[in-house]
Amino acid sequence: MPEAFAAYEAVRARLPAVTRDAPCRALPDLDAIADEVDTFLLDAFGVLNIGETAIEGVPERVAGLQAAGKRVLVVSNAAGFPHARLMEKYARLGYAFAPEDVITSRKAVLAGLAAQPDRHWGLMANPALGRADLDGLNITFLEDDPAAYADVDGFVMMGSAVWTEDRQALLERAVQGHARPVFVGNPDIVAPREQDFSTEPGSYAHRLADATGVAPQFYGKPFGNIFDLAFAHLGTFDPARTVMVGDSLHTDILGGQAAGVKTALISGYGFFAGHDVAPRIDSAGIMPDYILARP
């Protein structure tokens, strides 16, 4: 965690600015703020699940909020998985979300790509997951052939499960030799798993930017494009009674604040599990409205 936290701090210049202070009220869980909130925007990793396992008691808590008439959306930097597979995962974990209530950075980057001229894109993703959601895009999966990196018109960094250091070196050399647009579908540097952290596309994107000087275009938290999708789906809502819930200061809390809603940091699971969040909040200067021990 300390290394991951330092990595986020090192790239603060590429993240949204802090917009306000907040009271950091310590409370036990989501139910404790339900009287003050009508709409919950929930991160996935560290809030709904750790890796492939639901956090104990959270499916029941989310179901209770839904039964009470609360709007509950997932707002996640889950770009690597096709939407249908993601919905299958949530159902398997015990969650009942409508497909349209799951807003991901995959949706955000695909919306961004749809607004671009026709291009041949080199894709960082797992080919085993197929091309679902990618209809209409001219893509080549980036693997170990240098020619693929040379031939494309731009790059999309969507999933890093099968990415390697050799592939990162090929990408950096390709961009250094011929600068092209780089779209990043998951700004996360790391994600919490059962035993450790996984390295996510944001980590490789920041390394690429440092090595080449090419500024990536990020889609997902903490950037506003994913919140624009969520708010468009919500329609009329009260930002003062809406909360972004997540386990990361630099993505969930910073992004929620920049989007103009309340924020709740999960302290006991995910990014900060086993660590004191207070000194990290002081160090980063990113202050949530609530600090919840668990979702």
Alpha carbon distance 262, 229 (integer Å): 17
Helices and strands, counts by H and E, the chain: 10, 16
Residue 51, pLDDT score: 85
CA 146 to CA 127: how far, in whole Å? Answer: 17
Where would I find the H helices in 143-183? Answer: 146-151, 165-177
Instruction: Give the bridge partners for 199, in sequence order.
Output: 190
- pLDDT value of position 8: 97
Q: What is the pLDDT of residues 103-160, one digit of tens each?
A: 999 999 999 999 999 999 999 999 999 999 998 899 999 999 999 999 999 999 999 9
User: Can you give the C-alpha Rg of the chain in angstroms?
Assistant: 19
Higher pLDDT, 216 or 52: 216
Of the chain, the percentage scoring pLDDT greater than 70 comes to 100
Tens digits of per-residue pLDDT, 269-278?
Answer: 999 999 999 9
In this structure, CATH architecture of domain 2-106+221-292: 3-Layer(aba) Sandwich (3.40)
Helices (H), 77-185: 83-93, 105-114, 146-151, 165-177
| SS3 (DSSP) at 258 | helix
Q: What angle do CA 9, 55, 27 make, to 5 degrees?
A: 65
pLDDT the model gives residue 276: 97
Q: Which two structure tokens, joined as six digits, stand for 117? A: 């001229």
Q: Is the pLDDT of residue 166 over 90?
A: yes
Side chain identity at 189, as an amino acid letter?
I
Look up residue 171 and give its amino acid: L
Mean pLDDT for the chain? Answer: 96
pLDDT for residue 274: 94
The whole-number average pLDDT for the span 237-262 is: 98
Q: What pTM does this model have? A: 0.96
Domain boundaries, the chain: 2-106+221-292, 117-218
Give 63-83 as a DSSP string: HHHHHTT-EEEEEE---SS-H
Element (H, E) at 284: helix 278-284
Lowest-confidence region among 15-19, 48-52, 157-161, 231-235: 48-52
Q: Which CATH architecture describes the domain 117-218?
A: 3-Layer(aba) Sandwich (3.40)
193 band by pLDDT with thresholds 50, 70 and 90? confident
What Å distances lie between residue 183 and 17, 167, 234, 282, CA to CA?
21, 17, 26, 32
Residue 290 makes CB contacts below 8 A (sequence gap 6+) with 24, 25, 26, 27, 33, 243, 262, 263, 264, 265
Residue 168 — φ and ψ, nearest 5°? -60, -40
For residue 194, pLDDT over 80 is answered with no
